[in-house]
């Protein structure tokens, strides 16, 4: 059965309403076998990828700080994460005396599982047509895939909030409350930023979103909806609790935040969940804005015959895109300072949410106008006009409205004139105190 499955066929498609459709799997047995193989393959790669991303972050951090980083366990320190995992498995579990144990034990799992479930609907390669039917490169290619992502990804906050509350520790509770407020604030902006993408695709299926971006790379949504991508990536940093949005942990204020009371493997579960969420967010950015598994500057991967080589190359290219975003996550963490809490909330509610709402209206109006003029989103001229609109909006947004004040973590709510007045008053006070101390000494 497996040998028959591995046989490529030149083309198995049929036409319906002018659209080419791939032939579905011939039987439930083939579908079940393919699903089991995909499940084992993807989640093995995913978990090994999380381990390697942890190693990569430590190496990049060391490079930025002019250190060597992990380099003793395995070649170039590649097995350091394995050694840390074995150590945490063998360590003794400690439980706070006043903790509510059922939720205390459940919280790390609730934080970790949603990041894994989201991967079940993300298409990670071109479909593969075999002699037994078509195999979709997604574990569960749902027609409502994006709605599934929004609903499941929002569950991750429950693990963090329950960890903070069940620990019966004031620092943990503050971390949990911060996380809930932060995720609610930025989840709205993240959802709003994806509406322009869905408007262009005309569907909430991730397969349709990828298909809408197929081509030479000129139809990627990062070109058509540039500001939406900016809002999404900022919200992704906040949703994954990564710097400069790591207020739920904030070691300088809350010890370790919501997981202050956790030890051994339960602590590692939160650590792994953070990197799993980072990889999931990177996969979503690649899918929604950078064509998913689409290889740019060629149409070879988008047309029949749908052979195994195309599936393999698109799969590898998709992971290249993911690793680019993972590197950006790491780079930002070791470059920017942490936001103050008032800056974090102000950015989410006063800047990102109004910008996302206004952008939806602009993109919807522009899309309707261009289609009325006879330009479909698949037309290259449509992409050129949308790119021009986005460039104008970026100039207005950052050159005139923001001017480096709202986005900067160092930005103060004080008016510049008030700040200058306070500085002059402090200068006068220091001079007066200096003069007084010198007179007293004489």
Residue pLDDT, tens place only, 49-74 = 888 888 888 888 888 888 888 888 88
Residue 235 belongs to a domain: yes
Q: How many CA atoms lie within 13 A of 138 on its CB side?
A: 21
Residue 259 belongs to a domain: yes
What per-residue confidence (pLDDT) applies to 82? Answer: 85
For 130-157, the pLDDT digits (tens) are 777 778 888 888 888 888 888 888 887 8
What per-residue confidence (pLDDT) applies to 215? Answer: 76
Provide CB contacts within 8 A for 253, sequence distance 6+.
Answer: none
Residue 426 belongs to a domain: no
For residue 399, give its domain range: 96-119+140-417
Residue 324 belongs to a domain: yes
CA distance 1 to 378: 40
Contact 247, 195 (CB under 8 A): no
- Given a cut of 70, whether residue 438 has pLDDT beyond it is no
Q: And the tokens for 63?
A: 């490079």
CA distance 138 to 130: 16
- Given a cut of 60, whether residue 242 has pLDDT beyond it is yes
What per-residue confidence (pLDDT) applies to 440? Answer: 55
Count of domains forming the chain: 1
Task: Over range 111-127, report the average pLDDT.
Answer: 85
What per-residue confidence (pLDDT) applies to 37? Answer: 85
Provide CB contacts within 8 A for 302, sequence distance 6+.
Answer: 126, 214, 215, 294
Q: And the tokens for 239?
A: 């949703």
Q: Which helix (H) or strand (E) holds 158?
A: helix 156-166
pTM (predicted TM-score): 0.82
Residue 373 belongs to a domain: yes
Q: Which residues make beta-bridge pairs with 133?
A: 130
Residue 305 belongs to a domain: yes
For 1-50, the pLDDT digits (tens) are 444 444 444 444 433 333 344 555 546 677 788 888 888 888 888 888 88
Residue 410 belongs to a domain: yes
Residue 243 belongs to a domain: yes
Contact 146, 311 (CB under 8 A): no
End-to-end CA gap in the chain: 100
What's 21's DSSP letter? E
């Amino acid at each position: 059965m497996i040998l028959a499955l591995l046989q490529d066929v030149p083309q198995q498609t049929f036409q319906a309403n002018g659209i080419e459709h791939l032939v579905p799997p011939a039987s439930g047995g083939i579908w079940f076998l393919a699903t089991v193989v995909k499940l084992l393959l993807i989640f093995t790669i995913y978990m090994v990828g999380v381990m390697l991303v942890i190693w990569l972050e430590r190496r990049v951090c060391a490079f930025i700080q002019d250190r060597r980083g992990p380099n003793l366990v395995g070649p170039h320190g590649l097995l350091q994460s394995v050694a840390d995992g074995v150590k945490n498995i063998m360590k003794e579990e400690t439980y706070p005396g006043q903790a509510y144990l059922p939720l205390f034990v459940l919280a790390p799992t609730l934080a970790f599982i949603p990041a894994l479930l989201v991967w079940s609907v993300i298409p990670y390669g071109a479909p593969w047509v075999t002699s037994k039917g078509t195999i979709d490169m997604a574990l569960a290619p749902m027609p409502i895939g994006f709605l599934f992502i929004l609903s499941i990804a929002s569950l991750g906050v429950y693990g963090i909030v329950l960890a903070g509350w069940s620990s019966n520790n004031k620092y943990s509770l503050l971390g949990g409350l911060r996380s809930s407020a932060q995720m609610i604030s930025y989840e709205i902006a993240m959802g709003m930023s994806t509406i322009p993408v869905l408007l262009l695709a005309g569907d909430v299926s991730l397969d349709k979103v990828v298909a809408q971006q197929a081509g030479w790379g000129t139809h990627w949504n990062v070109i058509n909806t540039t500001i939406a991508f900016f809002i999404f990536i900022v919200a992704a940093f906040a949703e994954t609790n990564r710097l400069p949005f790591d207020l739920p942990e904030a070691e300088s204020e809350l010890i370790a935040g919501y997981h202050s009371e956790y030890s051994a493997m339960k602590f590692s579960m939160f650590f792994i969940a953070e990197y799993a969420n980072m990889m999931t967010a990177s996969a979503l950015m690649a899918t929604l804005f950078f064509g998913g598994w689409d290889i740019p500057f060629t149409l070879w991967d988008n047309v029949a015959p749908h052979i195994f080589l195309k599936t393999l190359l698109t799969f590898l290219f998709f992971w290249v895109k993911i690793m680019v975003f993972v590197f950006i996550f790491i780079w930002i963490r070791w470059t920017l300072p942490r936001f103050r809490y008032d800056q974090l909330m102000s950015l989410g509610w006063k800047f990102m949410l109004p910008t996302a709402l206004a952008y939806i209206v602009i993109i919807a109006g522009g899309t309707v106008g261009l289609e009325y003029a006879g330009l479909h989103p698949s037309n290259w001229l449509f992409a050129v006009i949308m790119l021009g609109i986005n460039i104008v909006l970026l100039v207005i947004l950052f050159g005139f409205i923001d001017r480096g004040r709202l986005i900067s973590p160092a930005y103060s709510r004080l008016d510049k004139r008030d700040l200058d007045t306070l500085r002059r008053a402090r200068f006068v006070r220091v001079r007066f105190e200096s003069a007084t101390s010198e007179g007293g000494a004489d």
